Structure 1
Amino acid sequence: MIRFERVSVTYDGAHRPALRDVDLSIDEGELCLVVGHTGAGKSTLLAAINGLVPHFTGGTLAGSVRVAGRDTAHHPPRELADLVGVVGQDPVAGFVTDTVEEELAYGMEQLALDPAVMRTRVEETLDLLGLADLRHRGLHELSGGQQQRVAIGAALTAHPRVLVLDEPTSALDPTGADDVLATITRLVHDLGVTVVLAEHRLERVVPYADRLIHIASDGTVRHGGPSALIAGSTVAPPVVELGRLAGWTPLPLSVRDARRHAPTLRDRLPSTPPQPHRRSRASARPALTAAGVIVRHGPVVAVRGVDLTLVRGEITALMGRNGSGKSSLLWALQGSGQRAGGSIEVPDPDGGGADPGRVGASQARRLVGLVPQTATDLLYLDTVDAELAQADRDGAEPGTARGLLDSIAAGIDGDSHPRDLSAGQQLALVLAIQLAVTPGVLLLDEPTRGLDYQAKAALTRTLDTLAGQGRAVVVATHDVEFATATADRVVVLADGEIVADGPVPAVLTASPTFAPQVAKILAPLPYLTVGQVAAALADPAVSA
């Protein structure tokens, strides 16, 4: 179905090819998972399948890519639209209509399908992806996860023979991600659709994959069966890391497989982990107090009377299903978002306090910093250096933002255009810009989209440093493994209300939906991370 023959892709001005000498055949009805570190070239490989590379991205394509016999060098994306459906990393960038129902129908209209067929497929897709209640909603009124489901649905309604997905579950809650992956698997098994997807949250996707395609840092590609290829990969989910630590053969790819090995490991481990899942830096000093916060978007009540106190040095994970009100709450806390009721106070050293929603934008930034879901929304200048200089002019000493950037992600060229950076580098740049004015509270909305496990570990270290400096940090995330490694506390929203608030071990293990892989594998033992297991096994008493 898809054939890469000695394919290399080199972008203008790049020091090395993004892809180098790729030879690859993908059969009909195969689900291939593309893995690699952030910036390795996964999106380039996906974009080559429907001709976006090189017709829209520029650069030089050497070799040939054929899809069902069509050479993408001679067939631009519009001539492959009946064959290849694509969902990119940023769903909003691909929307062309105003409402959910219109977006689902748009692709079929361009293919001139019969109206009766279009109506049937729209209804099927609304039910398949749980979008029926949103059919008349405006696309820009939806949460990030809801937008992602609409983008996937818009690709599915055309019934493509090939489906290309770039991080399809990155903005979905665990239940929503499972539903989408189950849908994709049915398309592969029942209809013979060929699916090629890139995803950083391997713990979600690896069990479904027929084959792994690993892109190395030099642009070369290896491919093979998931269990064989992941054994030596530097990109691996917690279940594989645990299997390596315990010496399990073959390495398990799912929680179910790992639990078959678990009894022997549980017998070796003490009943209580010798160390906590992380070292908390929380103090008793409040950094922000919110009381009765209400947020409305037209007739929709997104946040319903939320009371929340953040303390200095504490990292809080804000979780909940898509559309539960997480982003609305963060924007209200920062002061830029709508607030129909309630109060927010950030105390100052003199014993007073200020409401970030009642002061100017510049002062609000000094009180509460916010990194939105799409970090590039805050990047509007032509170079990294220009962005850093503007951040300094907003209230910091010259060089402050550059120093922060180098401490988070060293080596980013100041002459680079911000939108040419990888997702991880863009996030680092926005963090540096926001931190330059030293807010005491930092809010991040889905910051792990586009980040591999190593980049997430680096982000965890950065947030831990900020907490050590006395900042209160809130991270809205669907990434259970990241929340486990990073947070001290978890707040769960449902329908705009707080339904759970407590320490990570208590909240994340209370529900199978939010439990990390290690907790599922080793239950009822209270272990959350591979690091806790490693520390226990390293204890001489356990080894004996």
Structure 2
Amino acid sequence: MIRFEDVSVWYDGAAEPAVEGVDFEVPEGELTLLVGPSGVGKSTVLGAVSGLVPHFTGGTLRGRVTVAGRDTRTHKPRELADVVGTVGQDPLSHFVTDTVEDELAYGMESLGLAPAVMRRRVEETLDLLGLADLRNRPITTLSGGQQQRVAIGSVLTPHPKALVLDEPTSALDPAAAEEVLAVLQRLVHDLGTTVLLAEHRLERVVQYADRVVLLPGPGARPVIGAPAEVMALSPVYPPVVDLGRLAGWSPLPLTVRDARRRADALRERLADASPVDGRDPSSRAASNPGTEVPVPRRFLRRRSVPDAPQAQPAAAVTSLAVRRGAVEALHQVDLTVTAGETVALMGRNGAGKSTLLSALVGLVEPARGSVRTGGVVPHRTAPRDLVRRVGLVPQEPRDLLYADTVGAECAAADRDADAVPGSCRALVTELLPGVTDDAHPRDLSEGQRLALALAVVLTARPRLLLLDEPTRGLDYAAKARLVAVLRGLAAEGHAIVLATHDVELAAELAHRVVILAEGEVVADGPAAEVVVASPSFAPQVTKVLAPQQWLTVAQVREALSS
């Protein structure tokens, strides 16, 4: 169905190809998972299937990509729309209409299908994806999982033979991710749709793949095989595979169920041991790939955080209510965050996590209750004064990046923070070694843009650091580097609040976990207690080794080596 024949892609001005020597086939009716470290060209490979590469992105494509026999070099994306549907990382940015039903019909209108055919296919897709009750809903009012299903539905109504998805679960809570993956399984098994997807959160998807294609890196050809075989050699793999490698299990488990069936002997070895808290800032990054990531020295040197007495909480929220139009997004929220504490906000899409971060940084005004960050009321404080007290890295780092070069971003950050010239650049050098001043932010990977946005915010040395979905688009190694940096900041006395759906990140990093549901706090306590007690938010290691209370592979590795 999808065939790559010795494909290489060069972008204008690049020193080396984005991908090289890509040669594999995705058979009809299979789900193939594309994996590899950040920056190896997964999105380029996906874009070549739909013709976006090179017709939209530019560059030079050598070799041949065919979909259902059509050569993507001679067929533009519009001419491939009836055979391949593409869903990007951010479905909301691709919607062109206002309501669910209109969005499902739009692609067929573009292809000129008859109204009777369009009506029938819309009804079929509403039923297939469980969207019938949402048909008249504005898309902006839907949850993340619902939006992802609408995005899939909008490319399904033209009845493509293949579906290409880039990070389909990266912005979704665990329940919504399962919802989307169930839809993909149904398309593959019941309708024979061919699916090619790339995903960094392998713990969610690897067990559903028929085959895995690993892009190892520059100059190396893809490795193709059964999921367990490829995971045995892959530099990126989920915690359950890491645990299997540590325990010496063969074949490697891909699911919690498989791992639990083999874990009796491992539980016996761990019976008399206690988990070591990997959230000590000086400890190793406890990251999945087994690579220890040192905490940069800059983030281990304790220094006072200006303009705020240390006895005062970094954030104090009391009986907070926030309205978004007619909806009360937050209701009676109480939260106190102290210096050096890392708090993970978790909950379903739409639970109010981003709204709470917005209230802490002064972007929204309380309807009732109070918010104080660093001793001031954020929505009544001038941005120039607030920047030293609280900083937000949003879900889309590009929202903070408006200059044409990394150097210009750094210079602006220094000016805005009244920092010594070169302060931001020094942070970028530590977080992004090898990135030059003349690089354009839009040419950086998702992980690199996140690091640049983090450096911009940290230039002002805010006492409270807020991050919204900080691991979106990050591979395991990039996540390990982020964990190391955040631990170093906590060691300096910075308070950190992060909204995340990444249960593995919360297990590695957070001192406390706060779970929100429909705008209210439903759980607040030490990370080990809250996530262990939650079937939805427990990490893979916890599920495998229950009832013992282990959170990460690093804790298990430490116990076995002592």
Counterpart contact for 1:152–1:168, Cα < 8 Å: no
Q: Distance in 2 between matches of 1:316 and 1:84?
A: 42
CA pair 130-175 structure 1, distance change in 2 beyond 3 A: farther
Question: Aligned in 2, Cα 1:171/1:126: closer, same or farther, shift over 3 Å?
Answer: farther
- Distance in 1, matches of 2:127 and 2:340, equals 44
| Paired amino acid for 2:488 | T
- Find out whether 1:372 has 2:394 as its counterpart: yes
CA–CA distance in structure 2, aligned partners of residues 330 and 131 of structure 1: 30
**What residue in structure 1 maps to residue 28 of structure 2?**
28
Cα distance in 1 for residues equivalent to 2:522 and 2:131: 24
The amino acid across from 2:188 in the alignment is V
Residue 524 (structure 1) aligned with residue 547 (structure 2)? yes
Counterpart for residue 406 of structure 2: 384
Larger deviation: 439-448 or 333-342? 333-342
Instruction: Specify the SS of the correspondent of 1:416.
Output: coil
Query: Gaps (5+ residues) in structure 2?
Result: 283-309
Whether contact under 8 Å (1:148, 1:171) holds in the other structure is no
Does residue 46 of structure 1 match 2:69? no
Q: Is the 8 A contact 1:446 1:475 kept in 2?
A: yes
Match of 2:381 in 1: 359
2:223 alignment partner, SS class: strand
Residue pair 1:146, 1:322 contacting (<8 A) in 2 also: no
Are the equivalent residues in 2 in contact too, given 1:36–1:216 (CA < 8 A)?
Answer: yes
CA distance in 1, matches of 2:429, 2:214: 29
Alignment map for 1:322-337 (pairs within 5 Å): 322-337=349-364
1:417–1:3: structure 2 CA closer, same or farther, 3 Å change rule?
same
Deviates more, 1:19-28 or 1:151-160: 151-160
Query: Pairwise mapping of residues 494-505 of structure 1 onto structure 2 (< 5 A)?
Result: 494-505=517-528
* Percentage of matched positions with identical amino acids: 62
Instruction: Pick from 414, 418, 430 the counterpart of residue 441 of structure 2.
Output: 418
User: Is 2:512 the counterpart of 1:489?
Assistant: yes
Comparing 210-219 with 115-124, greater Cα deviation is found at 115-124
1:326: Cα distance to partner?
1.0
Q: Deviations over 1:115-152 (max 9, x none)?
A: 45544544554565565565444444555555434322
Q: How far 1:114 sits from its partner (Å)?
A: 4.3
TM-score in terms of structure 2 length: 0.91
Q: What's the secondary structure of 2:350's corresponding residue? A: coil
User: Judging changes above 3 Å, is the alpha-carbon distance between structure 1 residues 284 and 137 closer, same or farther for their aligned structure 2 residues?
Assistant: farther
Deviation, 1:223, is 1.1
Q: Distance in 1 between matches of 2:129 and 2:279?
A: 36
Contact (CA 8 Å) 1:280, 1:488: kept in 2 or not? Answer: no
Separation in 1 of the partners of 2:337 and 2:273? 29
Distance 1:250 1:316, change over 3 A: same
Structure 1 residues 121 and 447: alpha-carbon distance in aligned structure 2, compared to 1, 3 A threshold: farther
Q: State the 1:340 CA deviation.
A: 2.1
The yes-or-no answer on 1:224 pairing with 2:225 is: yes
The residue that corresponds to 1:344 in the other structure is 371
User: Aligned pair count?
Assistant: 533
Structure 1's 501 and 284: CA in aligned 2 closer, same or farther, altered over 3 A? Answer: farther
1:406 to partner: Cα distance: 1.7
* Cα shift at 1:83: 0.7
Bigger shift: residues 69-78 or 307-316: 307-316
Could you tell me how far 1:228 is from its partner in structure 2?
0.8
Q: 1:388-537 to 2 correspondence within 5 Å? A: 388-395=410-417, 396-537=419-560
For residues 306 and 376 of structure 1, what CA distance do their matches in structure 2 show? Answer: 30
Letter of the 2:385 counterpart: Q
Residue aligning to 1:171: 171
- Amino acid aligned to 2:381: V
Q: Deviations over 1:363-421 (max 9, x none)?
A: 23222111111111111111111111111110222111111112222221111110110
Give the match's secondary structure for 2:322: strand
Q: 1:132 to 1:273 in 2, by over 3 A?
A: farther
Q: CA deviation at 1:509?
A: 1.1
Per-residue CA shift, 1:5-49, capped at 9, x if unaligned?
Answer: 111001111111111111111100111000011111000000000
AA matched with 2:263 = A
CA distance in 2, matches of 1:149, 1:402: 41
Q: Who is 2:298 aligned against?
A: none
Task: Give the counterpart of 2:316 among 275, 289, 298.
Answer: 289
For the residues of structure 1 that align with 2:114 and 2:271, how far apart are their CA atoms? 64
2:332 paired residue among 305, 322, 337: 305
Query: Does the 8 Å CA contact 1:277/1:484 hold for their aligned counterparts?
Result: no
Tell me, in whole angstroms, the C-alpha distance in 2 between the residues paired with 1:331 and 1:508: 25
SS in 2 for 1:413: coil
Q: In structure 2, what residue type is equivalent to 1:519?
A: T
Would you say the 8 A contact 2:98–2:139 is kept in 1? yes
Q: Which residue of 2 aligns with 1:82?
A: 82
In the alignment, which residue of structure 2 is the partner of 1:542?
none
The TM-score, its normalising length taken from structure 1, stands at: 0.94
Structure 2 contact 360–372 (Cα < 8 Å) conserved: no
Could you give the per-residue CA deviations for residues 201-257 of structure 1, whole angstroms, max 9, x where no partner exists? 001001000111111220532211111111011101001100010000111111111
Q: 2:63 is paired with a residue of what secondary structure?
A: strand
Contact 1:277/1:528 (<8 A) preserved = no
Match of 1:148 in 2: 148
1:243–1:154 CA distance, 2 compared to 1 (3 A): same
Paired residue secondary structure (1:498):
strand
Amino acid at match of 1:184: L
Pair 1:201-2:201 in alignment: yes
CA separation in 2, counterparts of 1:201 and 1:62?
A: 30
Q: CA deviation at 1:113?
A: 3.6
- 1:270 maps to what in 2? 271
**Which residue of structure 1 lines up, in the alignment, with residue 292 of structure 2?**
none
Which position in structure 1 is the counterpart of 2:65?
65
